[in-house]
Amino acid sequence: MEVTDPVCGGRIPLEIVRAHEEFAGWSYFFCSAECAKCFRENPDAYVGDRPGGPPSVDAGR
Domain boundaries, the chain: 2-47
Residue 6 reports pLDDT greater than 60? yes
- pLDDT for 50 equals 58
pTM for this prediction: 0.75
Classify residue 28 as exposed, middle or buried by CB count within 10 Å of its CB (0-12, 13-18, 19+).
buried
Contacts for 34 with CB less than 8 Å, ≥ 6 apart? none
The pLDDT tens digits of the residues spanning 15-59 come to 999 999 999 999 999 999 999 999 999 999 999 765 544 544 554
